[in-house]
Chain A
Amino acid sequence: MDAKFWLLQAFNGVSYGALLFLLGSGLSLIFGVMRIVNIAHGSYFLLGGYVALTVIWTTGSWLLAIPAAALAIALLGLATERIFLRPLGFDVLRQVLVTFGFLLLFQQAALDIWGGDNFIINPPPALARSLAAGSLHLPLYRIFMIALAAVIGLVLWLVLEKTRIGAVVRATVDDAEMARGVGIDTSRVSMLIFALGATLAGLGGMIGGAFLGVYPGLDLDILPIAFAVVIIGGMGSLGGAAIGAVVVGLADNFGKALFPEVAYFTLYAPMVLLLAVKPTGLFGRA
């Protein structure tokens, strides 16, 4: 257990966290603005990967697959929100059940459309290499994931903090009733945020496809981890999601490396304790 071990594990943890940020920030925003617990969020992640694969198979372009996956899942999210979730209002229990229903439907549809083979999205050769720093080998793709998550996080933060649209969103998060009172169309805000959250998940699925793969069951594998991110960071907080993602990424990495016997406990038990002490998560608002 030398410095190299710690450095490498930390790097791995942060890069995994970067991917989780893409997934978790959307889930967190959706909850913050709309109080929707979206069980189908993992499905958006998976479907994003499948759409990207289809684009790569037909056009051969990895770059084109990024916007295609994001856009397709954005549309899917938009439709889900408008047609199914809006009429439910702020009813968490029903949201959970409806979105679980969608999880089942998406799962079967994905199986029927793409078959059940395991796939992996091959990154362009430039990103498939690894960077040698002394005796350390850092896969370039992981560095790319960190950079991408940082850029997206920064853009989201700037939009939320510095623009009018951001102010409108923040007002809706803080007090929807009041926001409506001053003439904000909160329904449209919700729609946009849901689409944004779905976009991020779809993008995550595309980016993660090189790293976690694309396979039936990925939706349910990734979902509890996304929830852990959101729970630890606190729902509805972008900064919280970022910190939650890094914490979960690191906890998962070091947990597995140092205490392999209790790998799942290192994830869920601290979550229970945190929830018991501060039910709203580290940065969440009630």
Chain B
Amino acid sequence: MTRQGKVLAVVLALFAIAAITPHTTPFLLLLVTRGLIIAILAMSVDLLLGFTGLPSLGQAAYLGLGAYLAAILATRFQFGLGWDFLLVILFGILLGAATAAVFGLFALRAGGVYFLMITLALSQCVWGLAYRWDSLTGGDNGLNLLGRPTLGPIRLGNDATYFYLVFAFFVLSLLVLYVLVESPFGRSLVGIREHEVRMRILGYNTWLHKFITFVVAGGFGGLAGVLWAEVSGQVSPEDVTLTTSVDALLMVVLGGPGTLIGGAVGAAIVLFLREYLSTLVPWWQYVLGGVYVLAIYCLPDGLLGIRRAPRRPAGAGREVALIGIWRRRAEPETRDKREVG
């Protein structure tokens, strides 16, 4: 498919979602709304993983921060119940980004598997806070919001209305991220993913590039968090667990890393399995586990993945860089032909 063709397909799909969803069943409407929010989170993971080669195992931290911010502002200060909700969204983005800026200082010191570990440890810190800082977060019980905000004539308490708000933020996020990855900045991210040393030699400040990406991804995580708090009207430490982070990674790998929209498709599938299949059969967890396993073998590039060079047979050589799918220091010549330049 050509690029125009792809864009057209995505636009058509989005129109279809916007037009059809509110007329399906009430449950599907709720599910799609949640799916779009989690899709924003998945796209932020894709920005890190698919474009920059940074596999974050702690993206749930930013979702949690945004969600708790919205809940705390609403319950303690009655803030964000009207038009000021838009400010809450802004604050959520800023909080996510600011926290990512601090976390990034730690996380970006490590590469490969150590990056996975340190992002995991950081998000466990956020979880620990949510869980133990009872006076602020409500501890294990979590916090209840006071119902969704009403912006003048727009009552977000109506599920269809809230769906459209979420849909708008999803499209906006997709656009912003698309522009970002298509920009010269985005191109250099791909360059860093493929060959960081070369980019450094070419004069790029690769650390700064990665840092900015990390911060941007944190911002989108915060946005998803605010929207998430309002969709269920409830925030709890369960939202910040390892499972949420691993799920987000799976969504991206399932849908196709480096495609943005792939993360959204992955989000739809994972959410469908977790929340819809579980209403039908008690053994849904076998299916979800099976998808985790099978996706890796049957869809090495994800559903919407861009075909990459054939993967090296197992055991053929030691990967020095540990995120082996995209960084193959052992065979620089094939990589050069593929992407950089």
Contact = CB atoms under 8 A, between A and B. Distances in A.
Q: Do any CB atoms of chain A lie under 8 A from CB atoms of chain B in the complex? A: yes
Interface of A: 31, 35, 37, 39, 84, 86-94, 96-98, 100-105, 107-108, 175-177, 186-187, 220, 223-224, 227-228, 231, 235, 261-265, 268-269, 271-273, 275-276, 279-280
B291 A101 contact: yes
B124 to A, nearest CB: 5
A92 B249 CA distance: 12
Given A102-B289, A107-B285, A96 B246 contact: yes
Contacts of A108: 283, 285-286, 289
A273 B118 CA distance: 9
Interface in B319-337: 319, 322-325
A93 B249 CA distance: 9
Interface string B86-121: 000000000000000000011101111110111011
B20 to A, nearest CB: 31
B156 interface: no
Interface in B291-337: 291-293, 295-297, 311-319, 322-325
A220 B242 contact: yes
A269 B132 CA distance: 14
A25 B110 CA distance: 22
A91 B249 contact: no
A87 B314 contact: yes
Given A224-B120, A227-B120, A264-B125, 14 more contacts: A84-B293, A90-B319, A92-B55, A96-B55, A98-B293, A98-B296, A104-B286, A104-B292, A235-B113, A268-B121, A275-B117, A275-B118, A276-B106, A279-B110
Contacts of A276: 105-107, 109-110, 118
Nearest to B110: A279
A89 B324 contact: yes
Contacts of A37: 113, 116
B109 A279 contact: yes
Interface of B: 49, 55, 57, 105-107, 109-114, 116-118, 120-122, 124-125, 127-129, 131-132, 242-243, 246, 249-250, 253, 283, 285-286, 288-293, 295-297, 311-319, 322-325
Contacts of A271: 121
A157 to B, nearest CB: 25
B253 A88 contact: no
A134 B143 CA distance: 49
Contact of B314 (A88, A96, A269): A88
Nearest to B249: A97
Contacts, number: 156
Nearest to A273: B106
Q: What 10 A-B pairs have minimum CB-CB distances, sorted nearest first?
A: A101-B292, A264-B128, A104-B289, A105-B289, A279-B110, A101-B293, A90-B319, A91-B324, A276-B106, A108-B285
Nearest to B113: A92
Nearest to B325: A91
Contacts of A177: 317-318
A226 to B, nearest CB: 12
15 contacts: A89-B312, A90-B322, A94-B296, A96-B57, A97-B292, A98-B292, A104-B285, A105-B290, A187-B315, A235-B113, A264-B131, A265-B129, A272-B122, A275-B106, A279-B111
A175 B120 CA distance: 28
B329 to A, nearest CB: 12
B122 to A, nearest CB: 6
A91 B316 CA distance: 12
Nearest to A235: B113
* A97, A176, A223: residue with the most chain B Cβ atoms closer than 10 Å: A97
Contacts of B109: 275-276, 279
* A98, A102, A104, A235: residue with the most chain B Cβ atoms closer than 10 Å: A104
A94 B324 CA distance: 9
A191 B297 CA distance: 20
B269 to A, nearest CB: 14
A180 B113 CA distance: 24
A279 B314 contact: no
